[in-house]
Structure 1
Amino acid sequence: MVASKRLVVSCFLLVLLIAEANAQGLKVGFYGKTCPHAEGIVRKVVFAAMKKAPTLGAPLLRMFFHDCFVRGCDGSILLDSSNNQAEKNAVPNLSLRGFGIIDDSKAALEKVCPGIVSCSDILALIARDAMVALEGPTWEVETGRRDGRVSNINEVNLPSPFDNIAKLITDFRTKGLNEKDLVILSGGHTIGMGHCPLMTNRLYNFTGRGDSDPSLDSEYAANLRKKCKPTDTTTALEMDPGSFKTFDVSYFKLVAKRRGLFQSDAALLDNSKTRAYVLQQARGSTFFHDFGVSMVKMGRIGVLTGRAGEIRKMCRVPN
């Protein structure tokens, strides 16, 4: 038993060392000489799109998260299905939107500096620029990623809105992210929508006895039941009611009041470290800065650099 635990720890450390070695190929301003206007070109496309459809901010942020947590930040989420079903066809990814923005950014870059900027870097830049467009935080994006060639629906195993705190912490640790990163990145729920099927269990049959989740504020639960009937599969719910289009700290204030929409939101109060971070951010502390730091860390997960992977000509298909 002890030997097996040591083996698990050794394998985990090896994964982290490999990830850190790969991440050393990233740097801010990677395209400074080869495509000096790359970031400005992407920003122009994103701002134009967000002006027309600001609700794209949340799915674009989720897209980067979902990409990095499967095979690393290699743009595999962008690939269409060919001989096999791709990641984007997995159930958690069906609600992602904004793929056209990646396509438009790539097309604009290919006109100026063909074959230089990777789709995985474009996605990382877009996640940042979409938040800026919502008057949210900004951060310096490390670039230098290369694109993967594989996308497989069977490899999609993302943290779930139904997960408890132990599962969430484990999932994040395996990616080199700690409890603070978990809380800060969960703060991305300050924008966007959820849907009733993700709440039905919490509202109507949490323990199999027709009850609601006791960790959910009773008044909030009653309001949600008015919007979500047991068989409702379509109604959308604001994850941060009242400011779901604004990137702010109100998400943490709601979680602290037991009004987090998902079980995974409520679970942040079930661990001393994550609870402390929630309460700290609810007081309006350092969320914007910390979010940028955690996004940079997430952007280093499993990256391909140097001669690994490729620079796709089109983001939806490998070369």
Structure 2
Amino acid sequence: MASSKGSWAALALLLFAALASTAVNGDHKLSARYYDETCPNVQRVVRAVMAYKVASEPAVAPALLRLFFHDCFVNGCDGSVLLDGTHFSESEKDALPNASLRGFEVIDEIKSVLEHDCPATVSCADVLALASRDAVAMLGGPAWSMPLGRMDSRTADRDAAENLPSPHDNYTSLVSTFRERGLDARDMTALSGAHTVGMASCVNYRARVYGSDGDTNIDPSFAETRRQSCPAGDNEDGGMAPFDEQTPMTFDNAYYKDLIARRGLLSSDQALYGSGGRQDDLVEMYSRDGKKFAKDFAKAMVKMGNIRPSKGTTVEVRLNCKMVN
């Protein structure tokens, strides 16, 4: 009897894996109601786990928002950033721009609950999309209806992850990088407002505050303050600094006010303001009108979340976000 039960359990797992796998790239239309029939409690589960995690460690909220960006910007929003490396494949986690990513354990916990409630149904990519949306709301930012139905890639691309937007990029490079992903300058400027929360390490802002990258568009007192926690020299350790000094854990429009004051932490932040024209007008509008920023940010997040894996990508619904089925 025990052997029979074990055989049925093994068969059931194989069937779940087979149902979860697909050979196409998930090129169907996303919908906020995608799981209404198959897993109606998905959003409640994600929100409950997120509320618990953020209450005990608020810094996990901006970490998950960043994780979603880094997933979508490498071959679309396909959960590839969540995969561990194996003897046969590298992991995007090992790319230099991803070295400081965190929050993976939160996605794993949400996924574990969903696998209990709705086995082989909700993709890791959708879990991450919902978690990032809830992270923003829990920090005081906007909420929005998140289209769902993404699939999980069976492969990762470490090389592409090495080419994520750099903290040293200028405006032209940033516009080009976002345009390649179907996002325009307005989307880019709104999405950059995610830096109204969270922290950056010294290695990412050292060149700006010491002027070694040629960036002179910086308030001298701000540069001096940041140098106190970030010693000169590439071999020197340095501390973390908030993107927004005034409200570092509140999702508001203070980021844009900092740019106007030439107090953007990264060179790529400050690159959004100071050249004049329509770009400066956009930053100034967001600095005055927090509601307009919130609306445009939510719209841009949906647009970014719609970036699909490239044609021919093999996808599935992973049972474990760290590994393929």
Match of 1:137 among 129, 139, 142: 142
Q: Does 1:215 align with 2:221?
A: no
What letter corresponds to residue 164 of structure 2 in structure 1?
Answer: L
* Contact 2:26/2:151 (<8 A) preserved: no
What letter corresponds to residue 267 of structure 2 in structure 1?
Answer: Q
Q: Does 1:297 align with 2:297?
A: no
In structure 2, relative to structure 1, the CA distance for the partners of 1:230 and 1:45 (3 Å cut) is: same
In structure 2, relative to structure 1, the CA distance for the partners of 1:77 and 1:48 (3 Å cut) is: same
* Contact 2:74/2:157 (<8 A) preserved: no
Deviation at 1:203, TM superposition (A): 2.5
When the two chains are superposed, the root-mean-square deviation of aligned CA atoms in Å is 1.9
Counterpart of 2:321? 315
Counterpart of 1:67? 71
Match of 1:177 among 162, 170, 183: 183
Deviation at 1:153, TM superposition (A): 1.4
Q: Does 1:125 align with 2:130?
A: yes
Counterpart of 1:106? 111
Counterpart of 1:8? none
Counterpart secondary structure, 1:194: strand
Counterpart of 1:9? none
Following the alignment from structure 1 to structure 2, what is the Cα–Cα distance between the partners of residues 223 and 279?
25
Deviation at 1:205, TM superposition (A): 4.5
| Residues 1-319 of structure 1 aligned to structure 2 (within 5 Å) | 25-82=29-86, 83-156=88-161, 157-206=163-212, 213-231=215-233, 232-269=236-273, 270=275, 272-285=277-290, 286-303=292-309, 309-319=315-325
What letter corresponds to residue 224 of structure 1 in structure 2?
Answer: R
In structure 2, relative to structure 1, the CA distance for the partners of 1:304 and 1:168 (3 Å cut) is: closer
Counterpart secondary structure, 1:137: coil
Counterpart secondary structure, 2:200: strand
* Contact 2:92/2:156 (<8 A) preserved: yes
Once the two structures are superposed, residues 80-125 of structure 1 have per-residue CA deviations (whole angstroms, 9 ceiling, x without a partner) of 0112321011111111111011111111001111011000000000
Once the two structures are superposed, residues 130-178 of structure 1 have per-residue CA deviations (whole angstroms, 9 ceiling, x without a partner) of 1111121111000001110001311211111100000000000010000
* Contact 2:196/2:252 (<8 A) preserved: yes
Counterpart secondary structure, 1:237: strand
Deviates more, 1:232-241 or 1:50-59: 232-241
Counterpart secondary structure, 1:233: coil
Q: Which runs of structure 1 show a deviation greater than 3 angstroms over 4 or more consecutive aligned residues?
A: 21-24
* Contact 1:147/1:304 (<8 A) preserved: no
Following the alignment from structure 1 to structure 2, what is the Cα–Cα distance between the partners of residues 111 and 33?
16
Counterpart secondary structure, 1:28: coil
* Contact 2:77/2:309 (<8 A) preserved: yes
Following the alignment from structure 2 to structure 1, what is the Cα–Cα distance between the partners of residues 101 and 56?
17
Counterpart secondary structure, 2:246: coil
Deviation at 1:271, TM superposition (A): 5.8
* Contact 1:161/1:262 (<8 A) preserved: yes
Following the alignment from structure 2 to structure 1, what is the Cα–Cα distance between the partners of residues 258 and 294?
17
Deviates more, 1:224-233 or 1:42-51: 224-233
Gaps of 5+ in 2: 1-24
* Contact 2:75/2:310 (<8 A) preserved: no
Deviation at 1:273, TM superposition (A): 2.9
Q: Tell me how many residue pairs correspond in the alignment.
A: 294
Deviation at 1:204, TM superposition (A): 2.5
Once the two structures are superposed, residues 53-83 of structure 1 have per-residue CA deviations (whole angstroms, 9 ceiling, x without a partner) of 0011111101000000001100000000112
Following the alignment from structure 2 to structure 1, what is the Cα–Cα distance between the partners of residues 32 and 165?
28
